[in-house]
Chain A
Amino acid sequence: GAGVSQSPRYKVAKRGQDVALRCDPISGHVSLFWYQQALGQGPEFLTYFQNEAQLDKSGLPSDRFFAERPEGSVSTLKIQRTQQEDSAVYLCASSFTGNTEAFFGQGTRLTVV
């Protein structure tokens, strides 16, 4: 595709529900990043993939958060047993390599009620 695509754009989940957020990076991009952006804050790093390898997951806030990229293209961020504090916009970015320009998707706005 022409850009990074994220789905769904909006998700409302009841507290305790599991959610899965999808990211389709730009074709051929090796690096993929996930970020969490709370209201009024800058994006906070969650995790980073190079192809299918998850090289850094130091930003994942708890073991309820899990990300995968099994074939080195599409990535899924899964949040188990959602809590209200998980409400945020989740941004995905991809780049050709780790040190080239990163392109961001429009994000998924998650609201936990």
Chain B
Amino acid sequence: KQEVTQIPAALSVPEGENLVLNCSFTDSAIYNLQWFRQDPGKGLTSLLLIQSSQREQTSGRLNASLDKSSGRSTLYIAASQPGDSATYLCAVEGDKIIFGKGTRLHILP
């Protein structure tokens, strides 16, 4: 059974810092890994999708990496801004999409 773990559960950092969010999964037989952002009371916004054959994807200040063999992914956020404050969810897709519990990120102005 696929299990997805995100560390840390919560993170507060000053504006401008670079930061890394971690995601690990137990079953490496996946098609894709997606990182989502969720603002309070809102739906999911897809940030980055990494296919199983890829190692990383970049979009603006965001970079996500995937090491399928070790069951790990990281989301790197450069030069954090207060607007980055949200919950970040990692989801792995095999037979179905399994989510982690998320990392609640707070960027201090």
Interface residue ranges, A against B (CB under 8 Å): 33, 35, 41-45, 48, 56, 91, 93, 98-107, 109
Q: Given the complex of chains A and B, what is the CA–CA distance between A102 and B100 in angstroms?
A: 16
Secondary structure of the B contact surface, majority rule: strand
Write out the residue numbers on chain B whose beta carbons fall within 8 Å of the beta carbon of A104: 36, 43-44, 46
Interface residue ranges, B against A (CB under 8 Å): 4, 6, 31-32, 34, 36, 41-44, 46, 49, 89, 91, 93, 95-102
Write out the residue numbers on chain A whose beta carbons fall within 8 Å of the beta carbon of B91: 43, 102
**Contacts A42-B89, A43-B89, A91-B44 given; does A102 touch B97 at CB 8 Å:** yes
8 A-B contact pairs sorted by A residue (CB < 8 Å): A35-B97, A42-B102, A43-B99, A93-B97, A98-B93, A99-B93, A104-B43, A105-B43
